[in-house]
Structure 1
Amino acid sequence: MSSLNRWWARLAAALTAAVAAVLVPAAAWAATNETVLEAARRRPRSGGFGLFAGLCCLIVVAIVVIGLLVVVRGRNRRR
């Protein structure tokens, strides 16, 4: 059973790294791209999409936190 836990921890760490590898450069690109910034200024604010975007962000943050917890707990059990 411990080998299954190790593989689960490795999978969680790999998925966390993949999400971070995609989101961090995308956020940096969007912060410096004038086209994106101009579109954000012109776009009218709507409540529905903002709620969806916030929920999506919370889900991504939860996945990253859970992945980190799995990796940290795996390291603590080995000691």
Structure 2
Amino acid sequence: MIEDGVAPEQARMILPLNTMTQWYWSGSLAAFARVCNLRLDPHAQEEAREVADHIDKHMRGIFPVSWRELVK
């Protein structure tokens, strides 16, 4: 797949260890905002944007005022 131009982080998805993973995160509101400010950029990798979009949606519902100010 790599020889065909597929990015390594996407090509490894066919390996047997590619299984569904679930985890819990902890972090500060500022740290999550930094992730979103970096990864919601159109130039960011699509998978990273998808994760950042989920973070953004959750934080907007929980901390609407603070989140709006942090992700300007």
Same fold (TM over 0.5): no
Q: Which has more radius of gyration?
A: 1
Bigger relative CO (Cα 8 Å, ≥ 6 apart): 1
Q: If the length of structure 2 is used for normalisation, what is the TM-score?
A: 0.31
